[in-house]
Amino acid sequence: MTKACFITLEGGEGVGKTTNVNFITTQLDAANIPWIKTREPGGTPLAEAIRNLLLASEAETPCHLTELLLMFAGRAQHLDQVIRPALAQGIWVVCDRFTDASYAYQGGGRGQSEVTLALLENLVHQDLQPDLTLLLDMPVEAASKRVDSRGQQRDRFEQEQLAFFQRVREGYLNRAHQHPLRFRVVDASLSLAEVKAQVLGYLQPLLNDALTASSAP
């Protein structure tokens, strides 16, 4: 069995993560690679229930520490029930947001310390990191316009001010700088065709490795 890859997509609101998760799974299909797509917060019934609590605007507002702990509680469940079992069976996992989002939003956005985040990261998935993290990066004002153009009601995070999303963006770029081997930064402000071309360029080495491994005697 060839090694399955764990790919995560990250970035602020409206940068095109979901769109490109779907593009990646199309590429995996074309390469005959088994995959699942999933998301955070969420990915299991319990973790989706936690997601609903986290995104609701009308419910009691969680304090910053509660928000952080709920993100990692859902993640522990998601890892145990979905991500680790899939990878163990040779199924690639394409995940819309993962722990880097906690560094960007709860760290950069809310001001939780890196020490606290690293403690939870180590507790919840010390030995497992994504093989590839695509950070879709673009100015927050333009991304916010994309969210507005969808015409849906904004959730609790999406109601934050531009300054919050600017700190989130800086948190993500800082994370990419700290982990240059794992991260690839995509210019998400370009046309969708150009973004997909960049995504494919970063995905191709993993596809080539999988092809080589599967054709080895």
Q: Which residues bind ligand Z5A (CB under 6 A)?
A: 11, 13-19, 40-41, 71, 96-97, 101-102, 105-106, 146-147, 150, 157-158, 191-192, 195
Q: What kind and span of H or E run contains 95?
A: strand 92-96
Task: Output 80 or 158, the one with its CB closest to ligand Z5A.
Answer: 158
Task: Output 73 or 91, the one with its CB closest to ligand Z5A.
Answer: 73
Structure tokens at 14: 């409206």
Q: Considering the complex, what minimum distance in angstroms separates the CB of residue 63 from ligand Z5A?
A: 14
Q: Considering the complex, what minimum distance in angstroms separates the CB of residue 103 from ligand Z5A?
A: 8
Task: Output 32 or 191, the one with its CB closest to ligand Z5A.
Answer: 191
Structure tokens at 188: 């998400």
Q: In the chain, which ranges are continuous DSSP H helix? A: 17-30, 45-55, 64-78, 84-88, 99-101, 114-125, 140-149, 162-178, 192-215
What sign results for the dihedral spanned by CA atoms 34, 39, 40, 42? negative
Task: Output 147 or 211, the one with its CB closest to ligand Z5A.
Answer: 147
Q: Considering the complex, what minimum distance in angstroms separates the CB of residue 54 from ligand Z5A?
A: 7
